[in-house]
């Protein structure tokens, strides 16, 4: 279905504090720095901080894998036993994301870039 996980998003309570912590941890400054999302790129991996993550039902980090077709990817995961976790959404720049829960309750993400 994919080439692996391209993005991991962490729900955070204090985005300013989390930005400082992750900048120190990763040794880079964010490429995107906004009140609703802070993103870092390191070695082809994107690490994101979402201050609204808990409100969206995130209970921990969510790893997203890139797919060519978001709806087909969702259907394949649901057919394999996952259940939808919220509606697919546009997050900017032509990027759409969707999440599902696996039978163990883990949240898995899909992302598609237009």
**44: domain CATH number?**
3.10.180.10
Average pLDDT over residues 29-57: 93
Report the relative pairing of strands 62-66 and 107-113 from DSSP bridges. Answer: parallel
- Cβ(8)–Cβ(48) below 8 Å: yes
**Where does residue 99 rank: exposed (0-12), middle (13-18), buried (19+ CB within 10 A)?**
buried
Q: Read off the pTM.
A: 0.86
Band (pLDDT 50/70/90 cuts) for residue 1 is low
Structure token pair of residue 28: 């880079």
Number of domains in the chain: 1
What range does the domain containing 56 cover? Answer: 5-113
∠83-89-95 over CA atoms, to 5°? 120
pLDDT, residue 2, reads: 62
């Amino acid at each position: 279905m994919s080439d692996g996980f391209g993005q991991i998003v962490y729900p955070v309570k204090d985005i300013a504090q989390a930005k400082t912590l992750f900048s120190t941890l990763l040794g880079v400054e964010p490429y995107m720095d906004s009140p609703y999302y802070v993103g870092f790129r390191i070695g082809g991996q994107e690490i994101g901080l979402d201050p609204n993550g808990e409100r969206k039902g995130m209970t921990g980090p969510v790893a997203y894998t890139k797919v060519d077709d978001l709806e087909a990817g969702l259907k394949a995961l649901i057919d394999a036993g996952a259940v939808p976790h919220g509606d697919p959404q546009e997050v900017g720049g032509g990027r759409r994301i969707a999440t599902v829960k696996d039978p163990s309750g883990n949240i898995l993400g899909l992302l598609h870039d237009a």
